[in-house]
Amino acid sequence: MKIIQLVLAGLLFCTSAFAQKTYRINKNAGTLQLENINAVEIESYGGNEIVLSVEKDSVEEDERADGLRTLNSRGTDNTGLGLNVKDIDNQTTELKRLDPLNAKKIFIKLPKNVKISIKNKGLNYGNGDGTILIKNLSTEINAVVQYDNIKLENITGPSNISNLYGNIEATLDDKIKGPLSLVTVYGFVDISIPAQSKTDLNLSTTYGSLLASEKLNIDIIHQEADTTRKINQRNIVINRTNKRSTDGVEKVVVNLDSALASSGVPAATLPPNFNVDINETISAALENLPISFGSPFGENKIVGKLNGGGEHIILKSTYGKIYLRDKK
């Protein structure tokens, strides 16, 4: 009997220690705007209120703080979850995290007609992997983030996602509503789309590859590999040993646009006794440059139609690959 009581007591302790605190916002339309929030999971549901919750850890409990609320330069904790909720106007409600370094993962349930907007400046270093997960939304999604990974599961669009340092993964619903734009600079874009979808595709990457499933019937209208854009109008500094200079190195700035247009560089820019063939010098310099400074491949662009075309989908990555898959 005592063993049973101990087990029940342990279960009650675990339940209370890790139970979720919740806060409800009376809103079933308009936009919920998140500011500097990552490590968040957002999901659509059939209710009429926005429901916020945060996992509770018993270690965080401070008995002295009972009955008090957190004050912060970013705002006041008016939810009991370390979050500030404020109406910006009749349509938009802002949700702001007050202490990004000590915050836990946030769960948000959205009514079906509420749009989501995310603005993240990459300030949330204490929130695990910083993944933003959005599931089952059929309303508009707008996000401008840094240092976060974004995962979109079973969404319809329209969506406009811009990421600086991070990946974007998306699985689209059968009923796509464009336009849908997924753009990242330092990361990959991985999207799964129903094979029967009718879409207009615009794909581009500068230092990556475009990869697509053979099961997708893409009619390529235009493809372009711009091999000169990244080196035109770019100045490089060529160093060579020179005993006459005080630091032992003479630096010559060569404009590649001029150099590549002709067989050499204007004489006025050459130092005395500069008896090096300019073409060999430029070739050697380009070979030694890291790829982030100059790529022999340039920008790879594909414009095409899937099943005759329809909703617009734009996928772009500067320093990463683009994966276009058929949804299983």
What pLDDT, on a 0 to 100 scale, did the predictor assign at position 54? 86
Q: How far apart are CA 187 and CA 170, in angstroms?
A: 14
Domain ranges of the chain: 21-60+67-210+310-326, 235-288
Least reliable range by pLDDT among 15-24, 112-121, 143-152, 304-313: 15-24
| Interacting residues of 302 by C-beta distance below 8 A, sequence separation 6+ | 201, 202, 203, 204, 210, 220, 222, 223
Q: How far apart are CA 108 and CA 82, in angstroms?
A: 14
Q: How far apart are CA 255 and CA 278, in angstroms?
A: 11
pLDDT digits (tens, 9 = 90+) for 31-63: 999 998 888 999 999 999 999 998 766 445 677
What pLDDT, on a 0 to 100 scale, did the predictor assign at position 262? 46
pLDDT category of residue 100 using cuts at 50, 70 and 90? low
Q: Give the Cα-Cα-Cα angle 115, 117, 122 (nearest 5 degrees).
A: 155
Residue 287's alpha-carbon distances to 234, 268, 280, 283, 320, in angstroms, are: 15, 26, 11, 6, 21
The token pair at 208 is 């990556």
pLDDT digits (tens, 9 = 90+) for 214-260: 899 889 886 655 443 333 333 333 333 333 334 444 444 444 444 44
